[in-house]
Amino acid sequence: TGERTAVKAEPSRARVMAARGVPAEACVGQLVLPGDVLLLPAHPDEDSERLRLGAGAARRGRLLCGPGLRRSDAGLVVTKCGLLRHRPAGGGGGGAFWVDSQQKRYVPVKGDHVIGIVTAKTGDLFKVDVGGSELASLSYLAFEGATKRNRPNVQVGDLIYGQFLVANKDMEPELVCIDSSGRASGMGIIGEDGFLFKVSLGLIRKLLAPKCEIIQELSQLYPFELVLGMNGRIWVKAKTVQQTLIIVNILEACEYMTAEQRKQALSLF
C-alpha cells in the first residue's frame, strides 16, 4: 500500500518529430507542423555537402530548402503549417523540399512574378503595391528599351507585371520588368481594360502548374487574356464585359469545386 506505479505515456507524433526527427521523404504529402524536424536522406559519397539555399545555388546532389522550411544542424525545421512537397532530383540538381500552406499575406520572394499597382512616383523610382507588408520600388530604367531620354509612360494607378530582383527581410523589395537579357518577356504595363481580382495563394500555385485543367477548360469556353501573379492577383480580359465576369466568377469558385462540379458549371455556358 502507498506505492506508486509510474506510467510511461506514449510520445505523440508531434513530440517525436520535434525531438528526434523523421525522414523528410516519408512525410511528403503529409501535414507538417512548425517545430517538426525533417531528416535529409544520407549521401555517403557527399558527407561534406551541406544544404544550400536559393534557386540559383543548386549543384549536383544538393537539396534546396523552399518556403516553410529552415535549415538546421539536424536537418530541416518546419516553420509553417501545411503539406510537405518534394521535387525529385533531375537535371544536375538534388531536388527541393517546401511546405504548401494556405498563407493569406504574400511574402516577396526573389524571382517571383507578381502583379503590382503603382501608387506613387518618387524621383527616378515608382512605388508599387504588391500586397506585401511594404511597397516595392521600380526604377524607370527597369523596362525594355528605357533610357534617361526615353522614359516609360507609367502613371499612378497603372498595373505592372514584373519580377522581384531583390526580396529579403532586411531590404526594400525591388521589381524589374526585364529578364537577365534585358528583354520584357511579357512583363511591363498591363492594359487598361480588363478585370483585376485577388484569390488565395494556393489557387495561384494550382493555376500556374503545368497543364492546369482549369485553364484548359476555360480556354475552350471563351478566348481571353490572363495574367497570373504569385502574390494572388489575377488580371483577366475577354471580348465582352459579360464574358470577363463569367471567367472571373468561375476562377473564384473553382478553388472549392471538384473537377466534376467545375465541368457541370462550365456546361451551363
pLDDT value at residue 132: 87
- Residue 33 to residue 11: CA distance in whole angstroms: 16
Name the most confidently modeled range: 3-7, 81-85, 265-269: 81-85
**Percent of residues, the chain, with pLDDT higher than 70:** 82
pLDDT value at residue 8: 47
pLDDT digits (tens, 9 = 90+) for 159-209: 999 999 998 878 899 999 999 888 998 999 998 789 999 998 888 988 988
Place of cell 545555388: 57
DSSP single-letter state for residue 66: -
Q: Which of the residue ranges 80-94, 166-180, 216-230 would you say has the lowest mean pLDDT? A: 80-94
- Residue 108 to residue 48: CA distance in whole angstroms: 32
Average pLDDT value for residue range 213-239: 92
- Residue 38 to residue 69: CA distance in whole angstroms: 9
Average pLDDT value for residue range 112-122: 93
pLDDT digits (tens, 9 = 90+) for 44-56: 344 444 444 444 4
Average pLDDT value for residue range 209-220: 87
- Residue 97 to residue 106: CA distance in whole angstroms: 19
